[in-house]
Every structure is written in C-alpha cells, then in structure tokens.
Chain A
Amino acid sequence: NAGVTQTPKFQVLKTGQSMTLQCAQDMNHNSMYWYRQDPGMGLRLIYYSASEGTTDKGEVPNGYNVSRLNKREFSLRLESAAPSQTSVYFCASSLGRSYNSPLHFGNGTRLTVT
C-alpha cells in the first residue's frame, strides 16, 4: 500500500513562476488536506476537502488554489510563487473528518522560491 503519495519531492522556483503540487491517496479516504510546515511554526492548514467535490479554506489560503480532481487526488497550485511560500508542503488524508479520524500524511514536498 502506497498510502499518500506526493510529487515532486523537491522543487525550486523563481519568484512569479507557477506550479502544481500533486497528491494521491489509495486508501479510499473521503477527506484530504494540504498543510505547510515552517520552522518554529508547526503545521498550518492551507486548504482541505471534506469530500469529493468540496474544498474549503484553512488558516493560510492566500496565494494558493486547490482542486479535488476525484476521490483519490487533491492538488495544490501556486499561481505566482513568492519567497514567503518557501516551505515544506504536506498532503494528508483521513477516512472521515479530521477531528475523529487519524490523518495519514505523505512525505512532503520541499519548495524553495528564490
């Protein structure tokens, strides 16, 4: 079982470039999430999708867009990257809502914006 798979693992962008981070899960989970992790700040929720066809903003949605392509896939797009978006991005999924179901995480995408 692959669990939650994120691609790419590493990416370097120049300011203003765009990119899409991909996430797929093979556990038939209903909910999916995007977090960013910065030193000394813990993980912050960017967007989440409680079920296929729905998406909602988290704590820090500005500068990002998401697409729940189907039940398996949830992508995160940076339309115009900024140095403040340098971070490690984690995708996660859960069977039910996150407050009652364990979250399963991918291994992250390390993004540097210069």
Chain B
Amino acid sequence: SQQGEEDPQALSIQEGENATMNCSYKTSINNLQWYRQNSGRGLVHLILIRSNEREKHSGRLRVTLDTSKKSSSLLITASRAADTASYFCVHSGGYQKVTFGIGTKLQVIP
C-alpha cells in the first residue's frame, strides 16, 4: 500500500494559531503529496515535495520531509476558519495505484 498514516486523526485549534499535522510511511518514496478536503467536496492538491527536497513552502503552508525517519509534516501558519478540513498525505515509490489514508480532521475555531 502507498497510503500515509496521518497523525493526529483530529485537531482543534483557535483561529490564528498554527496547525501541525504529521505523516509517516513505510517504503522508499519518489515524492509525497498533501491534499485538503473540505466537507462535502472533492480533494484539492496542496503541495508536492520530492524525495530530494527537505522543505517546501506555499503561502501559509510549510511542508517538511525527513526520508531518514520516513515522515513528513504539514504546518499551516496563522490558521483561519476556512482551513477547517481534512488533510491527507499520499506518497509514492513510483506506482500508479496511489491511495489515501483516513487523514487528519482539522477544526479551526473562530
């Protein structure tokens, strides 16, 4: 399986705080991707980090990758109510059958 394991499964924070979600995996990877899913909607791609990269930024998002620990983290800074969603990590060692875990459910309280 190519699914990641997200931790924690649920996270509740106040608006303006930072949110950190973690992802662990078991096999070697080519890259790792993070997705967001708002309630009742499809998933939206957030960021892709390649195995030779350690950190990547996109707006208020920061993703790190530690291939020695087989883990990645997603940091959302200065969270907003609109960030309330489920977040998924997906990794691949080069297989087409990429699958998703159950994600981290983030609630940002206004």
A104 near B96 with CB under 8 A, answer no
Distance between Cα atoms of A111 and B48 in the complex (Å): 31
Contacts of B97 in A (CB 8 A): 45, 48, 58-59
Question: For the complex, would chain B's binding face be called helix, strand, loop or mixed by DSSP majority?
Answer: loop
Distance between Cα atoms of A37 and B45 in the complex (Å): 17
Tell me the count of chain A residues lying within 8 A, CB to CB, of chain B: 27
What 0/1 readout, one digit per residue, does chain B (18-33) give for beta carbons within 8 Å of chain A? 0000000000001101
Contacts of B103 in A (CB 8 A): 42
B45 near A103 with CB under 8 A, answer yes
- Counted as pairs of residues, one from A and one from B, with CB atoms less than 8 Å apart, the total is 66
A50 near B101 with CB under 8 A, answer no
**Least Cβ–Cβ distance between A33 and chain B, in angstroms:** 9
B102 near A99 with CB under 8 A, answer no
Contacts of B73 in A (CB 8 A): none
- Could you list which residues of chain A lie within 8 angstroms of chain B, going by C-beta atoms? 4, 31, 35, 40-45, 48, 50, 56, 58-59, 90, 92, 97-100, 102-108
- Could you list which residues of chain B lie within 8 angstroms of chain A, going by C-beta atoms? 2-3, 30-31, 33, 35, 40-45, 48, 88, 92-103
